[in-house]
Amino acid sequence: MDLSAINPVLLIASLMVAATPLLLAAIGELVVEKAGVLNLGVEGMMIVGAIAGFATAVESGSPFLGFIAAAIAGAALSILFAILTQFAQANQVASGLSLTLFGLGLSALMGQSYVGIKPPQMGDIHIPVLSDLPVVGPILFGHDIILYFGIALTAAVWWVLKYSRLGLVLRAVGENHDAAHALGYKVLKIRLLAIMFGGACAGLGGAYISLIRVPQWTEGMTAGIGWIALALVVFASWKPWRALLGAYLFGGVTVVQLNLQAAGVAIPVEYLAMSPYLITIIVLVILSADKSSAPASLGRNFHASR
Amino acid sequence: MKLTNLLTSAAVALGLAAGAAMADTTKVGFVYVGPVGDGGWTYEHDQGRKAVEAEFGDQVETVYVENVAEGPDAERVMTQMALEGADLIFTTSFGYMDPTINVAKKFPNVKFEHATGYKRADNVSTYSARFYEGRAVQGTIAGHMTESNIVGYIGSYPIPEVIRGINSAYLHAKKVNPDVQFKIVWAFTWFDPAKEADAAKVLIEQGADVILQHTDSTAPQAAAQAAGNVITFGQASDMSEYAPKPRVSSIIDNWAPYYVARTKAVIDGTWESVDTWDGIGAGMVGIGEISDAVPAEVKEAALAIKDAQANGTYHAFTGPINKQDGSAWLAEGETADDGTLAGMNFYVEGIEGDIPQ
């Protein structure tokens, strides 16, 4: 065992990278669920975002354009879900599941000619002096721009949900859509926008995997992150900062357990491999003991005549 | 009425055509553990499938199913293939072993070929390649090239094939560099690019400047490239898009000659259950070109090991070798027998850590 081989600074820096796709997807789904819609298609939207972003970045040479394309692709796929559930009144669980299956198939088709290609690199930001600081520099000031965007988005979603009129309306729609409708709010329109926001975030998360974390395109490369994001939203009691904590915890334990393995720590590998799931669930369950509950209208379809 | 008639006759015509085609074509099925576009293990098996198509043309029809999980899913896919009239089915991952045996019992007239396993039956052959011969070449290069004396190894599952590779690479790295140390991470997956990339990054952060992988995607190559001064080896496929650096050489699985020969045996009616285990000499294991990032004398040493194994004058496991606990395994000059190699479940002396059970 040689724990000194683990460099804590690099460890924290790489756990932030490992956590970002999860954070982006979870924040998007959080907003969707706050509006009273349960979209189980996160995995599908992520993988489509991953290939759309990858393809655009390769064709245009700009990773930044890739991320924009990923957000658009994710949102476009989510519109399909919105049409099915909000206008055709289809079951949300079934529609979400089929969206995931559809996304996995569609992405494999779109990605046929992009296997084995290297995408253009997105440089890390470099702020003179700040980025060169020991310890703080690599952790806080040496990442790519999307990682900071993820944190900023968390803050923005938290502020909007808590303090703004828009957030209040969104929550009203999620808690009691009939009351919101009676007050004159356009329930379907608000939900449509929330679903599209969720799709765009999932798409960004997927592109983060294919453009920065891995970076390459392979079929099925999101490998279940979308499902973990869904679980994270519930365990985080629909609170943005807890979702951030959960994502960092999950990403962190994932990276730490690989580090412990490489350092030869005498814990059976099987326990290490399940530790990210276990620890994240335990911590978030303890945190959610304050009885915060799901949006009351979560998963229920709305029709104005009822 | 007219439309119905038309449809019926079309269906009959199709049925006849299909029936006629069925009569004299041999149907060959392939079950893959990853996507054909993984750029590694499954990709090479699919190249073998294409070689079969190219060789026999209209005589054969090939079908494949990719991304088949090891376990009950595999059994379902194989059963489906057998029901659809496959004459020969290649199941191309270690974890398909029991499913293959189970399905083979139900379809005694269908021939099965299971890769890298050790259970056979009258209609189940096994075949594998001596990848450890290639690992000996990689270990030699790794031992010479490492400056930090730390070699990172991404293992998939703790099965004999993977452990053999680790042991072979370690022995040959140690031979040329007594200070070398192996850090081993088990990914518990054959294919998960994000996880493989994380594992490679972790190993690099802990000082490894050589990464060996026994997982199927090119993600570790990309991670090594991003890190800079790290070398890697292509796994299962050449992965030459990462040459000349980080990828300095590779093990290439060449299944095509075997697949063609076995398909021919089925067509001729001469198929028998056999156990094939070929190495560099027979061409089943190829060593990808050693790139210019490797100094000439290291390249020479690596090629010498390769040639000696190809012509049979050298065995990768030649004594004296002790097991990890210090007990003697092979005496001076003794070589390992295939039985021990096939079931290898121990590290050799010098490797740290335990094999997950």
Q: pLDDT of B128-178, one tens digit each?
A: 999 999 999 999 999 999 999 999 999 998 988 899 999 999 999 999 999
d(CA B140, CA B177): 9
The average pLDDT across B232-237 equals 88
**What was the pLDDT predicted at B5?**
52
Q: Are B32 and B46 in contact (CB under 8 A)?
A: yes
Q: How many CB pairs under 8 A join A and B?
A: 101
Comparing alpha-carbon positions, the chain A residue that sits nearest to B238 is A116
**What was the pLDDT predicted at B14?**
45
What part of A 108-167 touches B (C-beta under 8 Å)? Answer: 108, 111-112, 115-118, 121
- Please check the confidence at residue B10 and state whether its pLDDT lies above 60: no
- A214 touching chain B per CB within 8 A: yes
Q: How far is A57 from chain B (nearest CA, A)?
A: 16
Q: How far is A104 from chain B (nearest CA, A)?
A: 12
Q: How confident is the model at residue B51 (pLDDT cuts 50, 70, 90)?
A: very high
More confident residue, B250 or B13: B250
Q: How confident is the model at residue B321 (pLDDT cuts 50, 70, 90)?
A: very high
**What was the pLDDT predicted at A253?**
86
Interchain pair A263, B183: CB under 8 A: yes
Q: How far is A47 from chain B (nearest CA, A)?
A: 13
Comparing alpha-carbon positions, the chain B residue that sits nearest to A109 is B37
Q: What share of chain B is helix, strand, coil (3-state, %, to 5)?
A: 45, 20, 35
- Please check the confidence at residue B82 and state whether its pLDDT lies above 50: yes
Q: What is the mean pLDDT of chain B?
A: 88
**What was the pLDDT predicted at A38?**
94
List the single residue in A5, A223, A225 with the smallest CB-CB distance to B207: A5
Q: Are A46 and A200 in contact (CB under 8 A)?
A: no
Q: Are B73 and B89 in contact (CB under 8 A)?
A: no
d(CA B66, CA B46): 10
Q: How confident is the model at residue B308 (pLDDT cuts 50, 70, 90)?
A: very high
- Please check the confidence at residue B13 and state whether its pLDDT lies above 60: no
List the single residue in A11, A214, A264 with the smallest CB-CB distance to B197: A214
**Cβ-defined contacts of A125-132 (< 8 Å, 24+):** none
Comparing alpha-carbon positions, the chain B residue that sits nearest to A270 is B356
- A278 touching chain B per CB within 8 A: no
Q: How far is A244 from chain B (nearest CA, A)?
A: 20
Chain B contact set for A218 (CB, 8 A):
35, 37-39, 191, 193, 217-219
Q: How confident is the model at residue B16 (pLDDT cuts 50, 70, 90)?
A: very low
Question: What burial class does residue B121 get, using C-beta atoms within 10 Å of its C-beta: 0-12 exposed, 13-18 middle, 19+ buried?
Answer: middle
Q: Which residue ranges of chain A lie beneath pLDDT 70?
A: 1-3, 5, 290-292, 306
Q: Are B164 and B344 in contact (CB under 8 A)?
A: yes
Query: Which of the 8 DSSP states describes residue A114?
Result: G
Interchain pair A262, B217: CB under 8 A: no
Interchain pair A258, B199: CB under 8 A: yes
Q: How far is A299 from chain B (nearest CA, A)?
A: 31
Q: How many CB atoms lie within 10 A of CB A86?
A: 22
**Whether the complex's predicted ipTM surpasses the cut of 0.90:** no
Residue B157, Ramachandran bin (φ over 0: left; ψ between -120 and 50: alpha; else beta): beta
pTM: 0.80
**What was the pLDDT predicted at B187?**
87
Chain B contact set for A47 (CB, 8 A):
none
